[in-house]
Structure 1
Amino acid sequence: MTEASTTVRRGRPRNEQAREAILDVAMESLLAHGVAAMNMDAVAAAAGVSKATIYRWWPSKETLAMDALYRTWESAPIAPDTGSLRDDLRNLLWPWTELIARRPYGRVIAGLLGQVVTDPDFALTYRARFLDQRRDHGRMILQQAIARGEIPARTRIETVLDMLYGPVYHRLMHGHAPLDHIFIDGVVDIVLDGIHPRPDRQPRHETADSETP
């Protein structure tokens, strides 16, 4: 644990200090080894707690991993309303992408997704933590753009959100190309080019509410 983190925690209740220490150690282990290879005995020893203490708060390594990752990713700032859809989407994706590109978070997400597909209860919590909040903000941005007349009212919002976030997760998981501002700008531009109606295309009779979130 760093001197800075120790200073920040001074004066906090003992249980909170222990919890923060566990999350710190777990995050470092996850980034180094991934979810499956994280050793709970090693985490307990490094955090200065018993393994029973960890399991009292987190019933599995996956739930510990989810909390550790959430605490790190929730630090991404909320994008302001600029009045421009293009700028709003860039501001939505840039800070988060900068955060996740700094360290090998792809191996952590891969481990969590393995649990998502086998454990329905875990999947619900995971989606609430890592999908719903971010998608809610993106949904609001698109709805505001519709209200301004910037994009058609029939825009399929849920599909647009998938198209925005899908490429980011693709690069995060595969690591085949950089996650940077140039990439985000390209994603936003391509998606918006698809949203804006072309003269030679007849609109389909669908609305933003026609999809199931």
Structure 2
Amino acid sequence: MKKLLIILLLAGLFACQETPEKSSEAPVLKDAATTPTPAEDTLAYREVAIPFSQASINMPAHYTHITLDEIAEIINASDLDEEEKLIKQGGLQEIRSLGNKMIYADTANIFNFVIFVETEYIYISRSMGRRYLGMVEQSLEREWSDTGDKFEKLDSKYLHSKKKEIIKAKYKLITNGESDYYTQYIVSGKDNSLIMIAINDDNMDLEPQIKTLEIL
């Protein structure tokens, strides 16, 4: 259970940052200042396979697959000061330790991203969901209160259908007057489970896509 919390708490390392300038050798991602993210009601989607969970999901078309090495290149090529670079690279190392994963990033802002994490099968029930969500809230309150940042719980719930069980936890973090949104999903089918974390500054929520996600 600890790993499920770690990845959400690590999201704070990428909070409230503008897209850094990129060198010609860095992965080609558009600049947020000139390429605004499409409005949610006009988004185009494409199906993305998540092989390690035998799952698939419709992702916004302006999100592209990216590796941790490519993110590291962008950070190193940016004009962030050395301390900020070290903090972000440290965050990447922690994410590497989480095992098998896939990352999709907003082409307009590399720090808006979605992480899919492989996990062993997790049994989900309504009572288990309540316990887990309470643990997340307590952990975030400890972590973020120590920094002086403000956070607000936006959503926490258990969802289910005939083919899958879902836990959702969504928070808004306010740092220096800027807001970032953190949403964590745990999805379990009959034989497989999946963890998904979405971190962004535009409040994009993939709940409709999670509800229609196919998982075995």
TM-score range, shorter chain: under 0.3
Between 1 and 2, higher relative CO (CA 8 Å, sep ≥ 6) is seen in 2
1 or 2, which has the higher helix percentage?
A: 1
Q: Which structure has the bigger radius of gyration? A: 1
Q: Report the TM-score when normalising by structure 2.
A: 0.23
Q: Which has the higher strand share?
A: 2
